[in-house]
Structure 1
Amino acid sequence: MTLNRGFVQIYTGKGKGKTTAALGLALRGAGAGLRVYIGQFLKSGKYSENISVHSLEKNIVMEAYGNDRFICGEPCTEEIRLAEQGLIKAKNALLSGMYDIVILDEINVAISLGLIKEEEVADMIKMRPKTAELVLTGRSAPASIMELADLITEMREIKHYFSCGVEAREGIEK
């Protein structure tokens, strides 16, 4: 199966569920026989979703473009290098024709941290094959990127147990 027409989707906002929504779309697409590529910015692959996705590797390919450090303040040279390499891989995956759905997880955050250039992401969106569905996740989606989207969903935090000191739990948030 291939898509007759793909759209650009953005999942953004301060609320929980952006990556989860994108992974749900990946599962739905894989179940329908679509080929899916997931590029994760700012992550090192040590999340529970990576274990699940590897069991579906017939239809889903997932790569991580980050390290184990949470970025506070200015990113280091290595973090910028990893993100730039990830953007090249993601662009190659999108333009390869091998994938029906390409998910760029946390790419909005990578842009806001200055790891990758907003213009490069916009150019990639504009070059997207018309049959490819492109999903960009992460807080702080830039206005110029949102202008290029066909669907934007904003997750809004109303209440979260993190504010009470609960850390990310394996299988739920990581």
Structure 2
Amino acid sequence: MNKAVFLDRDGVLNKELGDYVCKFEDFSVLTHNYEPLRELQARGFLLIVITNQGGLAKGWYTPETLQQMHDHLIKTYADQGITITEAYFCNHHPQYNGNCLCRKPGSLMLEKAIARYQVDASKSYFIGDRERDVIAGEAAGVTGILIDSDQPIGEVLHLIQ
């Protein structure tokens, strides 16, 4: 079995802009997380992104723009020796699609990743900047760690065994 650190995107891996990052030009990777993510990877954790992207349902940006952001995120971290195993996203929004099981605080994205990558949830963590991240993680059997938006992950490494 593998162990993983699941990571919210906006406010954890890239700069939080408020509601949504809608334009690629506004997408800014948080460079202060390079070293902590390298450390987690060295400790044997898979790094998996779990993100709500309801702006797609609202039509605020396109799937192509989202893919461009994710490609940039993955390449930027790869250039620093960090492997993002996969980026899962929910493209639903309750006002446009009704309720779904994948949108956090739902845990379906985590459950899919846990099954696909044979993750031991009891040895895994979810770092997020919203309570819904912690709730989703805990619903999937993962320990949730709540941080402030744009807070360096290095400040919570001591919580990860």
State if a TM-score over 0.5 links the two structures.
no
TM-score, normalised to structure 1, is 0.38
- Say which one has the larger Rg: 1
